[in-house]
Structure 1
Amino acid sequence: MDIAAIYHSEIFKFVILPALIFMARICDVTLDTLRIIYVSRGMKFTAPIMGFFEVLIWLMAISQIFQNLSNPVCYVAYAGGFAMGNFIGIILEEKMAIGTVIIRIITQKEAVNLIEVLKTNHYGVTHIDAQGVMGPVKIIFTIIKRKDIDRVLKIVRTCNPLAFFTIEDVRSARKGVYPMTVTRSKKHGVSAAK
């Protein structure tokens, strides 16, 4: 069986081609999802490169759709690849944990222990006294890498399980501590924050 015969076979038309379109859409939409996230975070060099490959893959997929307009299986593969590409793109972005966030913690009880534990773990902390609906509160701010969210929230839940917190993306942060880089002095064995 030669390649031309395979290309014109029913198996190619209804199984192989739709599978290729499905995979191409997964790739291009995953890249699109990541590219949009990179654009929103101001990553001006990575986003255009991803956009180039995204559009290149999309052109290959859509050209096959136009060449096979009478094949409804290709339409389903195209739409399914789009949906799956969004899902995979979001999962990948979560796993990569790119960027910086600010965690705002509001606590009604005394927060000295929470603040000290965060500082001990080398997270920069800014805290202020404030007035809430039910009386005085402490507001604690910390800017951290996204990959550290689970670690910081575990500290918050351990030290102050009733604390209210919000997490927001930070487009950019200059200077500051998130978390502080720790080095060990070889001579004295003492850790120092940079």
Structure 2
Amino acid sequence: MPNWAFDYLVLPLGIYLARMTDVSIGTVRIILISRERKILAAMLGFVEVLLWLIVITQIMRNLSNVFCYIAYAGGFATGTFLGMVVEEKLALGHSLIRIIVPEKGEEIVQNLAQAGYRSTTLEAQGARGPVKVILSLLRRKDIPIVLGILKDTAPGAFYTIENARKTSDPELWKTSGQEGESFARILWRRQSRIRK
């Protein structure tokens, strides 16, 4: 292989791929840290830094090669995007969906329960009158299902989705044998047990 082929094709391509991989790993690692997955985050951190050291060593050896700089920057940008896509596909953790509707609240709760999702309903006052606020804790990978139920039941409903960093019971999102049992009821039962 000619020297120019290595310097201007193989080396930049290797830098690009390694940087893309290390930044993708770094993006996922940061998300795992926020989800308190310490051991997996630490292992990914080891691989991330090892790859970064390999890449930066090659950059330092080839300071006059502008293609290495372009490959480094391109790998960083691609790795950031790829890391977010990977994390989105993994859909780790839980989310809290808050649905605010002036009507059809009971129907939404019923449809969520039929699909296997618990919810708690609150009466509230909105700018245009009374509304129902429906809260439901679910796995992140179930968000599209719940949004589909919401779209079918109340297409104009307002909703927000938040990451639930930590829950007292990781199985809380599952329905129980008691149909229609709310989060509030479950929490009340737990408090009663603690007081005894």
TM-score normalised according to structure 1 size: 0.88
For 2:16 and 2:35, locate their aligned partners in 1 and report how far apart those are by CA, in whole Å: 29
SS at match of 1:105: strand
Which of the pair is proportionally richer in helix? 2
SS where residue 124 of structure 1 aligns? Answer: coil
**What is the Cα deviation at residue 174 of structure 1?**
1.7
Give the match for residue 193 of structure 2: none
CA RMSD of aligned residues (A): 1.3
Query: What SS is found at the alignment partner of 1:45?
Result: helix
Q: What are structure 2's unaligned runs of at least 5 residues?
A: 178-196
Matched, 1:113 2:139: no
1:74 aligns with 2:44: no
Structure 1 unaligned residues grouped into runs of 5+: 1-5, 183-194
AA partner of residue 98 (structure 2):
R
Aligned length: 176
2:34 is the counterpart of 1:40: yes
Amino acid in the other structure paired with 2:61: Q
Separation of aligned partners in 1, 2:48 and 2:94: 25
CA pair 104-86 structure 1, distance change in 2 beyond 3 A: same
- Residue type at the aligned position of 2:29: R
Structure 1 position 124, deviation (Å): 1.0
Could you tell me the TM-score, scaled by structure 2's length?
0.87
**Aligned residue number for residue 121 of structure 2:** 127
Aligned counterparts of 1:132 and 1:53: Cα–Cα separation in 2: 50
Identity of aligned residues (%): 43
Q: Is residue 178 from structure 1 mapped to residue 176 from structure 2 by the alignment? A: no
Correspondence for 2:133 among 118, 122, 139: 139
CA distance in 1, matches of 2:42, 2:126: 45
- Residue-by-residue CA offset, 1:115-166 (whole Å, 9 max, x unaligned): 0110111101011100000000000000000000000000011111111000
- Distance across 1 between alignment mates of 2:19 and 2:59: 12
Q: Supply the distance in 2 between the matched residues of 1:110 and 1:135 (Cα, whole angstroms).
A: 14
Please state how far the C-alpha of 1:13 moved relative to its aligned partner: 0.3
Aligned partners of 2:153 and 2:49: how far apart in 1?
Answer: 48
Give 4+ residue runs of structure 1 displaced > 2 Å after superposition. 179-182
Q: Distance in 1 between matches of 2:83 and 2:91?
A: 12
Partner of 1:3: none
Distance across 2 between alignment mates of 1:77 and 1:161: 45
